[in-house]
Amino acid sequence: MNLILLGPPGSGKGTQARLIRDQHGLVLIATGDILREEVQKETPLGLEVKGIMDAGLYPSDDIILEIFEKHLRQAKNQGVILDGVPRTLNQAEKVDKMFEKLGTELTMVIQLAVDEKELINRLSNRQVCKSCGASYTIDLPPRVVGMCDACSGSDFVRRADDAPEAVKTRLDVYNERTKPLIDYYARHNRLRSVDGMKSVDQVNEQIEILLRDFQ
């Protein structure tokens, strides 16, 4: 089973991707997490993309596709869930070709439908665990104050691309470049949609209903 989560920044893709990974034994390919790790380690790739990401922009298609293909080759026999790729029609077409080249195919694209005003509020109030990347907001805080639910870490930071000016840029870029993927996958009869405004558990329950036929 190979899945794509599609939705604007702050829609909860990362949270749902980790849940689906754990529930179905899939390999998570989250290009944003991979790139942020490269930035933190100050690798050549990290140094190349740091300024781009801090401004709320996306690295080039070539960079994203190179990362995707490398990780897909490692996980093709296990099944994957993609978060952060594809972001453009060019990426979507090439992702389809990469699946085909490796003898597999995309199972489903799950859109997390949300309200843009709520997204701005979520992102402006978001903090992430420095250790594992789990995110929290005022509405969805950790169960124990000051302790990450996922790894029990206690160091929380605000991502540079969650600053208000970067949030607006990210949403503008999403609406221009990524939103057309909804029509692309709908034409290929692979798109399914869930209400991303509900609680984490309720969103996950909607996704699990969609995935029952593939278990």
Sequential DSSP letters for 151-184: T----EE--GGGSHHHHHHHHHHIIIIITHHHHH
Return the bridge partners of 191, or none. Answer: 109
Report yes or no: 109 and 185 within 8 Å, Cβ to Cβ.
yes
- Token look-up 């995110």 returns 135
Peptide bond into 142 cis (omega under 30): no
Report yes or no: 70 and 98 within 8 Å, Cβ to Cβ.
no
User: Is 122 designated active site?
Assistant: no
User: Is 190 designated active site?
Assistant: no
User: Is 159 designated active site?
Assistant: yes
Q: What is the pTM of this model?
A: 0.76
User: Is 41 designated active site?
Assistant: no
- 161-207 pLDDT per residue, tens: 777 777 778 888 888 887 889 999 999 999 999 999 898 899 999 99
User: Is 170 designated active site?
Assistant: yes
- 15-33 pLDDT per residue, tens: 899 999 999 999 999 888 8
Residue ranges and CATH numbers for the domains of the chain are: 3-214 (3.40.50.300)
Catalytic member of 50, 76, 159, 190? 159
The dihedrals phi and psi of 29, each to the nearest 5 degrees, come to -110, 95
